[in-house]
Structure 1
Amino acid sequence: MKKHVVLYKQLSPALMERLQAHAEATFIDDPKRDDFARLRAALPDAQGLLGASIKLDATLLDLAPQLEAIATVSVGVDNYDIEDLDRRGIALCNTPDVLTETTADTGFALIMATARRVVELANMVRSGDWKQNIGAAHFGSDVHGKTLGIIGMGRIGEALAQRGHFGFGMPVLYHSHSAKPAVEARFNAGYRSLEALLREADFVCLTVPLTAETEGLIGKEQLALMRPQSILINIARGKVVDEQALIEALQSGRIRGAGLDVFEREPLATDSPLLRLKNVVATPHMGSATHETREAMARCAVDNLISVLKGERPTNLVNPKGWEAQR
């Protein structure tokens, strides 16, 4: 008898067919619409869950006594209490690697758009306000040759470093838990303390996961260390930055600008001061949002889920303790 899985993310026909060859699948579109009523009703019979962007807390997991695996279509796992999953013997799988290059593309797009004021000036043209050749009041800043500072030198950080070093001749500085000699050799990169990186970098790019250590990592004190001409880029998680402190730094000219794909609360409120600042480029958490990458992420999640349901250790296991407890 096939096991039962609950999906709260639409799969392509090919991936749905692949999953249904191994499990009975129930799809719930827009599970938040009815305050999770349909999801809660489906959980008691679920051996597997597949989806993204829902916080699966203890209240929901208590309704799923048969649950063996959660396959999240994301790299970040901040929506899950790993220790609780371990105690319950639930394996959590994510989708690293497949979105690395696309997310780095997004980061560099934000660097370029913010430095060269692309959105602001494109809106000027669209609104009919381009009446004469632009002057110094509309000039941006160069990207090539400027210092790229990366906080969090994981896969995405390395992909950003590659673009900056090889594509734009940018000196690369980085901060992480420890020095990475291979990264330094490949990109001629320099390891810095957080404070030193903030003082030296022209572009400060955040690529860290959201953890207890990184929540609020960039606040008023850290922003005060940055150069007035520097730009903050956040493709990590919104809560890594104290948003109110960032707003104040941008309003006062303490830093030149910010390119933001993530926010403390998403979607971003329509009355957020960030939306009224010309020195901000704000995008809707689109880091991995390409047809190719989202399909690859979903395929990875399906493969992870099938492996667990077959009793095989999945490739992208987040919590080995939960897997072992299940055995």
Structure 2
Amino acid sequence: MLINQSIIADIKSIISQSREYAIRAIDHQRTLMYWHIGKRIFEEEQDGKERADYGTFLIKYLSEQLQPEFGSGFSIRQINLYRQFYRTFENVHALHAQLSWTQYKLLLSVDTEDKRAFYIAETIKNNWTVRQLERQIYSSLYERLLLSNDKESVLAVAKNEKLPSDPKEIIKDPMILEFLGLQRESSYYEKDFENAIITHLQEFLLELGNGFSFVARQKRIHIEGDEFFVDLVFYNRILQCFVIIEIKTHKLTHQDIGQLQMYVNYYDRTERLPHENRTIGILLCANKNDTVVKYTLPEKQKQIIASQYKLYLPSEKQLLEELNKELMNFVGKDKYDE
């Protein structure tokens, strides 16, 4: 008797999905349990707030009573974490089943409500793992997007409340490429850089932003008998356009910008379909002079973006300093325009 062999694959898929749903459901119940424990502790603290050090005494007492029966999940440190969890997310209906308890623990380190809302929305939209969320928080993704956008726009795009109208709303400057494993002190060729990106393509797509897919590397184009090679070609389904990336391991020059502009024009005129938007070009460079970029390109153009790459994770302080510098430049420009 012949049996359709696809039934095995289908049943295996059903089992795997059911197990995944069960694990998520259990983890969400655990998250809710910790929230309710934190709430109960906080309520008890409020009843005894007139007594000095009552909160510290209470948590120590709870740990002594619960840990022998329920294990290390009820150490003093963990119980403090449950209390902090409740204080950070006081609306239980705002807790998302798509996020695990480990991801919520990471979010407790995020210091503002707007930033937490951004990372929650991005985690749900992109189905980030714990490791991916951790990297985005520690590489200060929110602050990097704020360098070229306003807060409301960043949050609206993250929450799917609007589609990005400008490539800069999803493309980061700087890009943090520590996962490539290249040492910032060592010299390397652009080919080495490109090879490292292809080796770590999944991580690079995550760093690029939402909606990117890989198309080609060293894409050969012919222009009246001359051959040129485009470093990397991607497509973005949100922006509905090709995205060309040229890698420069030196400080950006106006010749580099002109070369990328030629590639962008070529794709617009020969590869782009009628329903697609205009091609975007990204110059991924070791260093840049923003004023040179400004005067090389036409005013108000949105197709060419110069993004500096960093081979190490900058501190949040460094990014905030850059953000403040950008804000000061913006204020200065407004005064000049007046």
The higher radius of gyration belongs to: 2
Larger RCO (CA under 8 A, 6+ residues apart): 1
TM-score, normalised relative to structure 1: 0.26
TM-score, normalised relative to structure 2: 0.26
